[in-house]
Each structure stands twice: as structure tokens, then as C-alpha cells.
Chains A and B, each alone.
Chain A
Amino acid sequence: MAFLRAFGSYLPDRVVTNEEIGGQVGCDAEWIRGVSGIESRRFASASENVAQMGAAAGARCLERAGIPATDLGMILVSSGSSERQFPGPAASVAKLLGLDSVPAIDLPLASAGSLFGISLASQLAAVVGNVLVIGTEKMSAIVERQPMDRAVAILFGDGAGACLVSPDVGGARVLGWELHSDGAFAEDLKVEFNEPLAMNGRTVILQATRKIPRVISSLFEKHGLAVSEAGVFLMHQANQNLILKIAAALDVSPERFYSNIARYGNTSSASMLIAADEWSQQVGFEGGVPVCFAAFGAGFHWGALLAVGVD
């Protein structure tokens, strides 16, 4: 058994408007809003890296949980925009949190990474104790590589999110998860070393709009629940139009899909946990009410996790 105990997030200060990014790639602000739902995003400063942002989100999460970092049994850090080939940011995040021996594992999955992280953590918690899952991304460093691609540059932002998964206490109990990967689409969304992000947007959207509703429906069915029973869907914030498509496919009101993409853009693996942190501060878990997490991204990797509020 595992529980979602607390969330945390970190967003860099610098707000990059559609006017600013649109001016760099030759499109207007309204067009960006129409194709993505994004109005602004945050960009980290030159001196901020993924480990620093991840540690800031992790520290906030631990503060909300009221436990010291020394109570952690493991750290899982997802990032698709790490500055180095190796080591990944996980060990640096642990060091920044003041730890020198807790195992810290990298999950370089990009968008779906934090979902995979909390799914794994929900199994590991019984063995290792508290697991801190972090998604942290500095996508600006990738999208600003030349030549800038308009379809990509308008979408992404920087930030970090965190979730503490505990074996015995928390606001919601994890009921289960379903994860999938299909490497046949590995070329359709990728970042080669020191190259710009390459995305076949039509394939990404076509596959995501089919796979996400399917995996959510499958997971609810496995647990004897109707999708309509979910109190909230906390999804990877990829594109507002994609979220609307998924809501329609599931026949669920879009209002039940928490969305902050207008303010932060797509922060890849950080986005789902940033959304969860904001939602938990504004609303939070309610006893007996299911909450669904879902993500889709490069790989392709996709899946969903179902939790239910503790009475």
C-alpha cells in the first residue's frame, strides 16, 4: 500500500509571454493561444539548472509533508532536459537536499517521467519507505537551440514538481496504475544530443488522443470504478486542445481536468506534478473521491495512476 502525502513545485521568476516567444519565431500571440491554450511560460535563468529547480520543488514538498529529507528512503528524478549525459540530476538533487547516501535514481523519460516515477514509488515505498518523486525540466535550453522550430518553441516552459509517496500516511491511497511504452514511435518526439527538439506533432496528437482515454478507461474498469466518478484529472499539461479532446473522448466535463497550461506552457515531466501541487493547495483530496493522474510523451511512454482520497 502507498499514499500520496504531499506535493511541491518550483517555477522560475521570468515570465515569457506569447508576444515575446512569438516575436522570435514569427507568429502572433493569439495564434499561439489558439493552437495550444498557452498564454505565457516561465524560463529559468542562465544560472539555474534542472537539479536546482528539482531540489527547490522537493524541498517545498517535504516542508508541506512536515518531514526532513533524512526521512527519505529514495529519490526518483525525471528529466528530459538534463544538462549532462551523465550523471543525471538525481544525485545532485539529493545533495542539494542535504543527503549523502540515500539512493537517487534518474528517470530520463521526459513528459511521462513523473507519472512513471510515482507509479514505481507506489511499489517501492513498502520496501524503502518515503520516496520523493521529482519532475524537473529546463526546456528553454532545448527549444532555444537553433534553428528554432515555431511548432516547438511556443509550447515549452521550465519548472519542477514533486510528490512524496509514503508507505503509511497521506491524503490519498494509490489504488493502482497502468503504464505502457512503444518504441516504434521513438523518432516522432526526440532530442538528439545538442540538437533542437524534433516533433512529429500529427503523430503525437493522433496517438495521444487514442492512447490516453484508453488507458484511463482501462484503469478505472480494473478497479470497478466509472470514469465519471473521478473528482479531478491531473494530467501532463501538453496542450489545452489535447486535454479537451481527452475530456470529450471520456465524456467528462473539461472542468474536471485541472489546467494551468495557460500560465506555464508544457513543462514536460514537471507539468503533472506542478498541476497536482496547485490543485492540492486550492482543493485537495476528499475522502472516497478518486483522483486520476495521466501522461503521454516521448518514447512513446504513457499511462495513468488512480488514487482515492483517504477519509
Chain B
Amino acid sequence: MSKRQEIIQIIESVSGKPFKLSPEESLFESGTLDSFALTDVVAALEKKFKVSIPDSALNPRKFDSVERIEETLAEWGK
């Protein structure tokens, strides 16, 4: 499974809905994630990709789309 597919799987699991957006579309503006679901997505990403993102680096904008999540994980060497 590709990294993108793994990210999408996490988003689907947290939102409880099939993912139908393009990779650059906003997860927040589309209503896919709210503030509380974001916390679950971040926790699931940390667990899945075995990375511990420090609080100081946690900017919600970095998790606003599948593309941005990919970039964020790349920043953390994943």
C-alpha cells in the first residue's frame, strides 16, 4: 500500500466516510474533518508512520489535505 493510500485509509477510518476528494482538496473546508477528528488523524498518523511530531510543529494547515499530509510526513523523514 502506498503512503497516500495509507493516509486516505486513516482519514476514512476517522471520518467514517469514503474518501472522495482530490489529494489537494481541503479536508476541513469539505467537512471531511473537524477540529476533534483532526486530533485523531494526527495521532493515527504518528502511530502508523512511527513518528512523534512535537507540539510546536503541529500546525493544522499541515494536515489540511492528503497532499499536505504527505509533505508533512516527508518533513519528518517519512
Identify the A interface with B (CB < 8 A).
35, 182, 184, 200-207, 209-211, 241-242, 245
Contact = CB atoms under 8 A, between A and B. Distances in A.
Contact of A202 (B28, B55, B56): B28
Contacts of A201: 35
A207 B58 contact: yes
B10 to A, nearest CB: 16
B7 interface: no
B54 to A, nearest CB: 10
Interface SS of chain B: helix
Interface string B43-57: 000000000000110
B5 interface: no
B38 interface: yes
Main secondary structure of the interface of A (DSSP, over half): helix
Nearest to B59: A203
Contacts of B76: none
A209 B39 contact: yes
A206 B38 contact: yes
A207 B36 contact: no
A203 B60 contact: yes
A214 B27 CA distance: 27
A241 B56 contact: no
Contacts of B35: 201-202, 204-206
B42 interface: yes
B55 A245 contact: no
Given A184-B56, A203-B60, 16 more contacts: A35-B34, A182-B55, A202-B28, A202-B35, A203-B59, A205-B35, A205-B38, A206-B35, A206-B39, A206-B42, A206-B58, A207-B55, A210-B58, A211-B55, A241-B36, A242-B36
Contacts of B34: 35
Nearest to B41: A206
Contacts of B42: 206
B69 to A, nearest CB: 14
Contacts of A200: 60
Specify which of B38, B39, B42, B59 lies most central, judged by the most chain A CB atoms within 10 Å of its CB: B39
